[in-house]
Amino acid sequence: MDWSSLPADLLLAVFARLPRDADRARFRAVCAGWGAAAASWRPRPWLVGSRTDRFGRGAAMSSFWLSRRSHGGGGLVPFAAAVPAGLEFLSSSSHGYLALSDPMATPKAVALVNPITGRRIRLPPIGFFKRWHDVATVVLSADPETADEWAAVAVGFPTNCLAYYSSAAGAWTPLGFSAAGYAGVEHFRGRFYVAFKSQLCVCDVEATVPAVIPLEQLIDDDDGGGENVDTGRRVVETHLVECDGELLLVSVHDNLERNPEDTTIFGDDDDHDGSSSSSSDSGDGRVVEVLRVEWVAGGAVRLVRQEDLCSRALFLGRNRAFALSPEEFPACRANCVYLVDQQGHPDGRVRVFDMNADERWEPEEAAVVARNYARRDETIYPPDDGRRDAQSAGWARRGWFFPKY
């Protein structure tokens, strides 16, 4: 029997029923026909993190599938990801890699690990990061497995310090940037970009002294122009996301009047033993503002407010932010933002922001609500890991991850 000539639908059915990701990686490597059949399988986003207790002790890795439900934003289903023992989670990177580190090593060194294939890339320590700096994000320019040369930018937290790595040089170089808070990084059209609050910058890594250069922002007075409005609300974090060939700047604000239409969803289909609270009771309102970067002649940019996500879903957290189409990846909902909230705080949760306007609103009302109120959101807690008090399970580091098979 010629195993390479099996029907694609049969191969896909076998592939989907394989119990381990390592088996799926081997399946794709059998031959071109099997690899092509596996390519049509749509994986689900993961939520990955290092779990601690309320006192920050321990760093046990845990992982969850995002599952689709008939109601609400979804659920989190636990599974055992193939992550090397003894390493702790730093960030989810791009091109199917996790950024991990040895908690006992000083200074901190980053290891890129593909949990599907098992490939591991050890990077040198970032010697100029202070001891208390936490590596919050690592973004790659290309897949190290296939690219002859590639680069990476790492973000330190809580005071942002940026480091640039070149595979050709094999060393980290500091980038001239420092600001308190959470900055977003993305590799877009061959260049690294950094955003903090509403400021977009480009990383000039070819200069004698690599630096982060702010881009000029144009502001128009008419309704169709750029947006650079200071609402006076604190920006909790900023993300950059490539979405359908566009670059989006996403800011998360707090100190908002709450929209009362909030619900709480637990992480699995069974009863939840731990306590929970509605996001509307916690006094930590959030609103997500999405701005599209419009490129203008002369190297300037204009930020244009987006009232919806064009049927995409955004995944923000301690990770390289990414966008998915629910038509291709049915585990997520259209026009929603999946935000891992309270980064660095022991009590972690996922908040799902619905960017769709309420059908009861007139267009003018919808625009006002979008600017001044938190969108309708739901909260997803990771399922209890066996302890009676689910709120005692800390999540000091957590982020979304999209696997590459």
**pLDDT-based confidence at residue 202 (cuts at 50, 70, 90):** very high
Each as own residue / partner, the long-range contacts of residues 267-272 (CB below 8 Å, 24 or more positions apart, any chain) are 267/64, 267/75, 267/76, 267/77, 267/78, 267/380, 267/381, 267/382, 267/383, 267/384, 268/75, 268/76, 268/77, 268/78, 268/383, 269/75, 270/383, 272/381, 272/383, 272/384, 272/390
Most confident stretch, 88-92, 231-235, 258-262: 88-92
303-358 pLDDT, tens digit each = 999 888 989 999 998 899 999 999 888 888 899 999 988 765 655 678 898 887 65
The residue with greater pLDDT, 337 or 379, is 337
The residue with greater pLDDT, 343 or 56, is 343
Contact in structure between 361 and 10 (CB atoms under 8 Å): no
Separation CA 398–CA 301 (nearest Å): 32
Q: Residues 85-93: what's their mean pLDDT?
A: 86
pTM above 0.95, yes or no: no
Separation CA 257–CA 84 (nearest Å): 44
Contact in structure between 352 and 336 (CB atoms under 8 Å): yes
Region of poorest pLDDT, from 36-50, 129-143, 391-405: 391-405
Q: Which two tokens stand for residue 331?
A: 């585990």
Bridge partners for 263 per DSSP: 378
The residue with greater pLDDT, 273 or 319, is 319
Q: Residues 148-157: what's their mean pLDDT?
A: 91
Share the mean pLDDT of the chain: 78
Q: What is the pLDDT, as a whole number, of residue 69?
A: 62
**pLDDT-based confidence at residue 279 (cuts at 50, 70, 90):** very low
Q: Residues 74-83: what's their mean pLDDT?
A: 82
**pLDDT-based confidence at residue 129 (cuts at 50, 70, 90):** confident
Q: What is the pLDDT, as a whole number, of residue 108?
A: 74
Look at residue 258 and tell me whether its pLDDT is greater than 60. no
Q: What is the pLDDT, as a whole number, of residue 53?
A: 57
Where do the domains of the chain lie, and which CATH numbers do they carry?
A: 9-41 (no CATH), 42-221+232-257+285-401 (2.120.10)
- How far are the Cα atoms of 249, 267, 302 from residue 218, in angstroms, in the given order? 15, 44, 5
